[in-house]
Amino acid sequence: MISFVKRNDVTNAQGQYAIRLRVCKERQRRYFTLKIFADEEYWDADNECFVILKNVKDKKQKEENEKRKQYNYLLSNYRVQAQEIIDNFRREHVDWTLNQFADAFLNKAKQGKVKAYMENHISVLRDTGHDGNANCYAATLKMLEHYDSKFDKKIFSEIDIKFVNGFDIFLQKRGCKGNTRKYYFKALRSILNKAIQEKEATEKTYPFGKGGFQIAKLDEETEKRYLPVEYLNKIRNTRSGNPQREYARKLFLLSYYCYGISFIDMAYLRKSNISKFNNGEYIVYKRYKIQHQKNVKSIKIKITSEIQNLLDSLKADNPIVDDFLLPIVSISGYTGEKLYKHVRYRYRKYNDYLRELAKEFEITEMKLTTYVSRHTMAMMLQRNNVAREQISQMLGHADMKTTNTYLDSFDTSTIDEAAEALYGI
């Protein structure tokens, strides 16, 4: 029914014959041009593929051999596309005609470019305010283009297990560790899943899942660094003589007292994130990185005297723009991707200030970063025998396996009591 045949009646300017896809049904046939040409001696008509020479040493012959390998790869993909179209007709109980097949195959040939699909998805994410996810896919696309100079021509059926394994080796050669590779592969897998769901790609060449590339095996245990008590006390009780470092010190403490809130979540906090409950005022927010996921619960942080003092002090020493709660965003009117990039820039500056603060306070045993406040908070709670379920809720973890069971089980008063351990150093 599906075959590849060499045209014998006419050649191109190089004296090569066109290789065409032939589809037969009920004694009728139709040919499709593939823009693939073969020399007579290098076409294997019985096996419907190009001849690949062995033990080739001549440079030109090697190049021609590689070109024929690529042609065989393309033919394999065309066969998959054609068979998928026919299988779809059968699943839908369509008594298809050659014209119907032609419409489906020729349209498929015009579509299915991975890069174009990813770019469109990135654009949609940016337009809908999902800047973090958009940047993840954009970074993945950029890395894929580094790996494959012809990625703009790749169709979904070419993103198979061979392609993925090659991409992984490429990343390893660049020095990417397991978690970094996982970052790219999760984005690629997500794009393929979306494309399959939208009928842009086929499951036949899907490289992940059972028997395929195992992303989970890339997991690496990330070292959780936390401050020893003596260093934490020094940061709590000692002011810096430098305005930028003092600003960083206060933000670090605010993050620590606010259950390890991330820098980007602090940056996006607005005055509307303050809510009043029966037992006081609370900062209520959803984590930026998971806010668009289903069933994400808000984190409620009671504004204690320590937190209020830090909010007041930061506001007094630094200008606040628009209706933001903290002086992190420094330019008025930014929204969407522009705001996100600005926050990322401020994030880098904050880490610079923390490094300088560590030198000033002679914190030499570890690198002081934004994550240290979060890890220190979690460790202090654990040392004070706070249940891990409560810690997980306070951190705002989205791992349903460990937190979903308990997500609604602790009211604000229970969390407030647990948070008291942060101040009982």
pLDDT digits (tens, 9 = 90+) for 363-417: 887 788 888 887 777 776 666 666 666 666 666 655 534 333 322 333 454 456 5
Q: Is the pTM of this model over 0.75?
A: no
Q: Is the pLDDT of residue 12 over 70?
A: yes
195 found inside a domain: yes
Instruction: Tell me what pLDDT residue 279 has.
Output: 79
- Rounded CA gap, 292 and 238, in Å? 39
- Domain range for 336: 229-422
Quote the crossing angle between the two packed helices 114-127 and 131-147, to the nearest 10°: 160
388 found inside a domain: yes
Indicate the residue among 75, 90, 110 that finishes a domain: 110
Domain shared by 44 and 94, yes or no: yes
Convert the pLDDT of each residue in 46-62 to its tens digit. 999 999 998 888 888 88
Domain shared by 94 and 149, yes or no: no
Indicate the residue among 186, 218, 250 that finishes a domain: 218
- Displacement of CA 412 from its chain's centroid (Å): 33
150 found inside a domain: yes
Mean pLDDT of the chain: 85
Domain count, the chain: 3
223 found inside a domain: no
Of residues 92 and 314, which shows the higher confidence score?
A: 314
Instruction: Please provide the DSSP assignment of 334-395 as one string.
Output: --HHHHHHHHHHHHHHHHHHHHHHHHHTT--SS---HHHHHHHHHHHHHHTT--HHHHHHHH
Instruction: Tell me what pLDDT residue 125 has.
Output: 87
Beta bridge partners of 302: 282
Q: Is the pLDDT of residue 207 over 90?
A: yes
159 found inside a domain: yes
Q: 240-248: long-range contacts at Cβ-Cβ below 8 A with a sequence spacing of 24 or more? A: 240/357, 240/360, 240/361, 241/360, 242/356, 242/360, 243/317, 244/353, 244/356, 245/353, 245/356, 245/357, 245/360, 246/317, 247/314, 247/317, 247/318, 247/327, 247/353, 248/350, 248/353, 248/354, 248/356, 248/357
What would the mean pLDDT of 226-239 be, rounded to a whole number?
87
* pLDDT band (50, 70, 90) for residue 1: confident
Instruction: Tell me what pLDDT residue 415 has.
Output: 53
Instruction: Tell me what pLDDT residue 409 has.
Output: 35
Instruction: Tell me what pLDDT residue 401 has.
Output: 47
224 found inside a domain: no
Indicate the residue among 44, 78, 110 that finishes a domain: 110
Q: Is the pLDDT of residue 222 over 90?
A: no
175 found inside a domain: yes
Q: Is the pLDDT of residue 238 over 80?
A: yes
Domain shared by 186 and 253, yes or no: no
Domain shared by 283 and 416, yes or no: yes
